[in-house]
């Protein structure tokens, strides 16, 4: 009963908070400064509050305001706003028109109107119609745009056309002849169903060829995971033997780990090599790989990476050690909480909770109360204090809920955490 009552009171609290914030944002709408009006519209969008008063901004002098209105209608609008969307679709600024198109498609994706927009003079708009509405268009509507004079339109037309066709001959021709990397990737994905042998033959040839730029090879390598095990293993061995593909190793390392998890010794030996790579992105992939191996003996190797020069590697190391249940991590907590990177401090908050380091729970509250701390670290501290049901966080959470100067994200997190830790505390606070 107390939980149900606390939850109802919390819903009322959130409702009052939304009303309070909405009034603040509404007050900004009549400002002579465009940046302030924009803040008002975006704030109302964040609270999910709609007002017909907003429709007047379809004629605002600043394109950012008109675009924000279109984006708002996309999120909360109905067909009642169709006339305004039509007005914004004729806006002189393409940036506004693109947002208006998104809103139009969200609230009333009329196929005939979409077909008409394929003939719009703006190449950006034609390309966007193809991107968002391919499933609502017919192949015969798309085909003329395969010859459009604008590259961006042709690229999206190929994507839309591939989505429509199931002809293996057409798909193979696109793979072999298209100048658009994304179209090649999409065609290959469909050919995995219709002609898997073609795809299996394509990959080793692609990896050894200079025809495909490195950026495209990286995108195509994402398809590897859909191939049979032997084909994946063969392609990976080929890739790791080719220094030209080194830039793609951060993408390939997780795949190698995934398909070799049944052989931990093989994976550990492989990852240990890449822990010493010069590139932070490769070291990061290796650290994350260790976190998935679930082999406790690797913690000694990983601890060295707590000193890594790359903040993402340090943060991932904290996370991996916590996943491996390395309770020795507690000896490093104090130093890690002083790390200049908020990513590391945030990872420490989660590690304290995951490992249930009760002697470190006070650090959660300390970070929660530190207003100068990065907001995502504070929010994580709040969430983790709730996860471990830390009763000494209750007073801090109550203070945050009562403090209107606190960020709404922090106040919302505090409310949810307090409900989880102590419904009685919610009732006491909100029944006054």
Cα distance between residue 191 and residue 197, in whole Å = 9
pLDDT at 361: 96
Cα distance between residue 137 and residue 204, in whole Å = 36
Task: State residue 314 phi and psi, 5-degree precision.
Answer: -60, -45
Q: How much is the mean pLDDT over the chain?
A: 91
Cα distance between residue 232 and residue 118, in whole Å = 40
pLDDT at 344: 98
What does the pLDDT look like over 357-384, one tens digit per residue?
Answer: 999 999 999 999 999 999 999 999 999 9
Cα distance between residue 288 and residue 135, in whole Å = 37
Residue with tokens 């994580």: 380
Cα distance between residue 142 and residue 46, in whole Å = 36
Name the percent of the chain lying above pLDDT 70. 100
Q: Is the pLDDT of residue 262 over 90?
A: no
pLDDT at 60: 94
Q: Token pair of 322, please?
A: 């916590």
pLDDT at 48: 83
Residue with tokens 């979409």: 114
Cα distance between residue 412 and residue 164, in whole Å = 44
Which of the four pLDDT bands, split at 50, 70 and 90, describes residue 4? confident
Which of the four pLDDT bands, split at 50, 70 and 90, describes residue 18? confident
Q: What's the helix, strand, coil split of the chain in %, to 5?
A: 80, 0, 20
For the ranges 40-49, 205-214, 284-293, 340-349, the lowest mean pLDDT is seen at: 205-214
Which of the four pLDDT bands, split at 50, 70 and 90, describes residue 207? confident
Which of the four pLDDT bands, split at 50, 70 and 90, describes residue 312? very high
Neighbours of 413 (CB within 10 A): 23
Nearest one of 243, 202, 246 to 224, comparing CA atoms: 202
The torsion of the CA quartet 130, 136, 142, 146, rounded to 10 degrees, works out to: 30
Cα distance between residue 241 and residue 153, in whole Å = 38
Q: Is the pLDDT of residue 149 over 90?
A: yes
pLDDT at 50: 83
Overall average pLDDT of the 413-424 stretch: 93
Cα distance between residue 48 and residue 36, in whole Å = 18
Neighbours of 366 (CB within 10 A): 13
pLDDT at 39: 94
Residue 357 gets the label, from left (phi > 0), alpha (psi -120 to 50) or beta, of beta
pLDDT at 226: 86
Question: Are 352 and 333 in contact, with CB atoms under 8 Å apart?
Answer: yes
What does the pLDDT look like over 217-234, one tens digit per residue?
Answer: 878 888 888 888 888 888
DSSP per-residue letters across 150-192 = SHHHHHHHHHHHHHH---HHHHHHHHHH-S-HHHHHHHHHHHH
pLDDT at 208: 81
Question: Are 23 and 15 in contact, with CB atoms under 8 Å apart?
Answer: no
DSSP type of residue 276: T
Measured CA distances, 118 to 112, 281, 306, 325, 420 (Å): 10, 41, 54, 56, 52
pLDDT at 15: 85
Cα distance between residue 363 and residue 385, in whole Å = 10
What does the pLDDT look like over 56-105, one tens digit per residue?
Answer: 999 999 999 999 999 999 988 777 888 999 999 999 999 999 999 999 99
Q: Is the pLDDT of residue 400 over 90?
A: yes
pLDDT at 304: 93
Q: Is the pLDDT of residue 1 over 70?
A: no
For the ranges 154-158, 171-175, 347-351, 425-429, the lowest mean pLDDT is seen at: 425-429
Q: Is the pLDDT of residue 204 over 90?
A: no
- The residues near 217 (Cβ < 8 Å, ≥ 6 apart) are 206, 207, 245, 248
pLDDT at 209: 85
Which H helix or E strand runs over 251? helix 249-259
Overall average pLDDT of the 2-22 stretch: 85
């Amino acid at each position: 009963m107390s939980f149900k009552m606390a939850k109802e009171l919390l819903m009322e609290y959130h409702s009052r908070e939304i009303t309070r914030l909405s009034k603040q944002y509404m007050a900004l709408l009549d400002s002579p400064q465009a940046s302030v009006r924009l803040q008002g519209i975006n704030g109302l969008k964040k609270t999910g509050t709609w007002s017909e008063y907003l429709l007047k901004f379809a004629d605002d002098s600043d394109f950012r305001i008109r675009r924000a209105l279109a984006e708002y209608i996309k999120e909360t609008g109905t067909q009642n706003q169709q006339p305004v969307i039509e007005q914004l679709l004729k806006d002189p600024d393409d940036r506004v028109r693109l947002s208006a198109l998104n809103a139009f498609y969200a609230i009333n994706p009329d196929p005939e109107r979409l077909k008409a927009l394929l003939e719009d003079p703006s190449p950006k708009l034609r390309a966007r119609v193809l991107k968002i509405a391919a499933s609502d268009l017919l192949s015969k509507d798309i085909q003329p745009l395969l010859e459009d004079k604008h590259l961006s339109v042709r690229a999206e037309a190929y994507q839309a056309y591939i989505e429509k066709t199931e002809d293996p001959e057409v798909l193979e021709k696109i793979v072999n002849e298209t100048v658009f990397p994304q179209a090649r990737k999409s065609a290959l994905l469909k050919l995995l169903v219709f002609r898997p042998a073609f795809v299996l033959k394509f990959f080793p040839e692609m990896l050894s060829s200079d025809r495909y730029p490195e950026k495209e090879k990286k995108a195509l390598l994402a398809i590897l995971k859909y191939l049979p095990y032997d084909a994946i293993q063969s392609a990976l061995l080929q890739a790791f033997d080719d220094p030209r593909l080194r830039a793609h190793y951060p993408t390939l390392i997780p795949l190698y780990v995934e398909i070799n998890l049944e052989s931990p010794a093989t994976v550990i030996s492989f990852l240990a090599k890449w822990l010493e790579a010069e590139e932070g992105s490769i070291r990061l992939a290796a650290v994350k790989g260790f976190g998935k191996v679930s082999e406790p003996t690797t913690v000694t190797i990983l601890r060295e990476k707590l000193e890594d020069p790359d903040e993402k590697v340090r943060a991932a190391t904290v996370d991996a050690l916590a996943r491996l249940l390395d309770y020795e991590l507690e000896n490093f907590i104090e130093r890690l909480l002083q790390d200049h990177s908020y990513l590391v401090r945030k990872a420490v908050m989660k590690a304290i909770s995951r490992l249930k380091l009760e002697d470190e729970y006070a650090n959660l509250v300390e970070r929660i109360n530190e207003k100068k701390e990065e907001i995502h670290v504070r929010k994580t501290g709040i969430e983790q204090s709730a996860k471990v049901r830390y009763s000494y966080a209750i007073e801090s959470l109550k203070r945050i809920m009562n403090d209107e100067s606190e960020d709404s994200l922090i106040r919302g997190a505090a409310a949810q955490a307090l409900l989880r830790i102590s419904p009685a505390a919610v009732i006491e606070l909100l029944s006054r």
